[in-house]
């Protein structure tokens, strides 16, 4: 009988060992790396010894890891989707690329995580992704109760409706005209909440159907299962532009009935990482303001026209190194990813989106980068 108990003992030893690892990871985090290779790959066997890094800011964790975990959208062409080669592309995706370029000098040092609207906040809170760059609206409760911090708004959007001209909708239609309709939108988004609130305020009765993916919403709209769809104006414009049936569709009301400031978000209390995100966005906008593009950035670096560009591109001053980044961080951003106007034109203009509110302040828009000094 004794052997059996010995086997049981061994099982016990393994259980204890399992406890040991957890305890060890939490208490001896500052111990020297135990000879394991610090690599950039996602490890596939779940070994725990690679991740023991100094606790503290997310930025240190990411720098030590060597790549950025980016929560992206794969179902919103223009902002985030996958091409036929399986790569993520889009406006929001380029922000992650810019961050990676700033931190590592390599815009491809990103591991993307496709997130649905409903799953995105759990992914940030559980540490699955470092940053959420998937058309997320900045709201009070998300900023406070959900434990997130938001960066500068990269795209000012607003919620609108889309109906069929054949149903009598025109660009001058108002929200009151959708009384009695089946309205469809994405699940787990602010648009869902805005719509119920707007309907309640107007005293109209609607049925709100939600789907995980805006493509399914559009398919249902095309089939007639949804009378009206609602979401951020940008999505509506892009769908209308690329869909063969788009000619019959009308977007209304002309002034959006909600504010949807879309921007990056990350787990709160990581202020150094937050600084990085904020200033990367500003750097891209400053570059646009001063006419620095990926094409002429080398020339600009060689003989900067003014001090701000020089500081931004790392030619003089220590603004970037103080943040814990290489001095040429933003030079890399501009040269590998481009300035704000470039990524806008690359991803959003093909879908018929105009700068509008997202023009720089000098052109009458809301994008106002803070000075680099």
SS3 30: coil
CA distances (Å), origin 367, targets 102, 153, 370: 21, 8, 10
**10 vs 171 by CB, closer to another protein:** 10
What is the nearest approach in angstroms of another protein to the Cβ of residue 173?
10
What is the nearest approach in angstroms of another protein to the Cβ of residue 113?
7
**25 vs 275 by CB, closer to another protein:** 25
What is the nearest approach in angstroms of another protein to the Cβ of residue 70?
10
The full DSSP string for 173-193 is --GGGGTT-EEEEETTSHHHH
| 154 φ, ψ (degrees, to nearest 5) | -90, -20
**44 vs 303 by CB, closer to another protein:** 44
Q: Which residues pair with 132 in a beta bridge?
A: 71, 265
SS3 38: coil
CA distances (Å), origin 371, targets 266, 285, 298: 23, 10, 21
**184 vs 313 by CB, closer to another protein:** 184
**164 vs 290 by CB, closer to another protein:** 164
Enter the tokens of residue 191: 């648009």
**119 vs 327 by CB, closer to another protein:** 119
**How many C-beta atoms surround the C-beta of residue 195 within 10 A?**
26
What is the nearest approach in angstroms of another protein to the Cβ of residue 129?
9
What is the nearest approach in angstroms of another protein to the Cβ of residue 164?
10
Go through 316-336 and write b for each residue having 16 or more CB atoms within 10 A of its CB, e for each that does not: ebebbeebbbbbbbbbbbbbb
**267 vs 372 by CB, closer to another protein:** 267
Enter the tokens of residue 18: 């399992």
**181 vs 334 by CB, closer to another protein:** 181
What is the nearest approach in angstroms of another protein to the Cβ of residue 288?
26
DSSP 8-state secondary structure symbol assigned to residue 356: G
**124 vs 309 by CB, closer to another protein:** 124
| 193 φ, ψ (degrees, to nearest 5) | -70, -45
The full DSSP string for 277-291 is HHHHHHHHHHHHHTT
What is the nearest approach in angstroms of another protein to the Cβ of residue 32?
7
**277 vs 300 by CB, closer to another protein:** 277
**How many C-beta atoms surround the C-beta of residue 109 within 10 A?**
19
Q: Which residues pair with 367 in a beta bridge?
A: 360
Give the residue ranges of DSSP H helices in the chain: 2-27, 58-65, 91-104, 120-125, 140-144, 190-202, 214-223, 233-242, 271-289, 297-302, 307-313, 319-322, 329-336, 340-347
What is the nearest approach in angstroms of another protein to the Cβ of residue 111?
5
What is the nearest approach in angstroms of another protein to the Cβ of residue 311?
31
**How many C-beta atoms surround the C-beta of residue 170 within 10 A?**
10
What is the nearest approach in angstroms of another protein to the Cβ of residue 284?
22
């Amino acid at each position: 009988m004794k052997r059996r108990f010995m086997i049981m003992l061994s099982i016990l030893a393994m259980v204890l060992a399992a406890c040991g690892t957890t305890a060890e990871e939490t208490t001896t985090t500052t111990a020297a790396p135990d000879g394991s290779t610090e690599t950039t790959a996602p490890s596939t066997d779940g070994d725990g010894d690679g991740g023991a890094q100094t606790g503290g800011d997310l930025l240190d964790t990411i720098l030590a890891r060597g790549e950025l975990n980016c929560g992206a959208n794969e179902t919103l062409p223009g902002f985030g989707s996958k091409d036929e080669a399986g790569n993520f592309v889009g406006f929001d995706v380029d922000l992650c690329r810019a961050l990676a370029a700033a931190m590592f000098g390599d815009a491809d040092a990103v591991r993307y995580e496709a997130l649905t609207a409903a799953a995105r906040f759990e992914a940030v809170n559980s540490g699955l992704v470092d940053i959420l760059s998937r058309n997320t609206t900045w709201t009070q409760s998300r900023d406070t109760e959900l434990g997130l911090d938001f960066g500068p708004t990269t795209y000012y959007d607003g919620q609108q409706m889309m109906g069929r001209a054949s149903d009598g909708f025109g660009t001058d239609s108002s929200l009151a005209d959708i009384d009695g309709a089946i309205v469809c939108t994405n699940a787990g988004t602010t648009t869902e909440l805005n719509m119920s609130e707007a309907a309640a305020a107007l005293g109209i009765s609607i049925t709100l159907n939600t789907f995980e993916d805006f493509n399914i919403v559009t398919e249902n709209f095309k089939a007639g299962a949804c009378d009206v769809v609602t979401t951020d104006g940008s999505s509506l414009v892009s769908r209308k532009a690329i869909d063969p049936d788009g000619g019959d569709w009308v977007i209304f009301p002309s002034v959006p009935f909600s504010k949807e400031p879309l921007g990056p978000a990350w787990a709160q209390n990581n202020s150094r990482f937050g600084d990085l995100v904020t200033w990367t966005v500003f750097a891209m906008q400053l570059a646009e303001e001063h006419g620095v593009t990926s094409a002429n950035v080398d020339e600009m670096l060689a003989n900067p026209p003014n001090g701000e560009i020089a500081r931004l591109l790392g030619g003089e001053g220590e603004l970037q190194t103080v943040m814990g980044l290489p001095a040429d961080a933003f030079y890399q951003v501009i040269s590998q990813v481009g300035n704000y106007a470039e990524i806008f034109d690359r991803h959003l203009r093909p879908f018929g989106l105009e700068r509008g509110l997202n023009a720089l302040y000098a052109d009458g828009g809301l994008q106002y980068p803070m000075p680099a000094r």
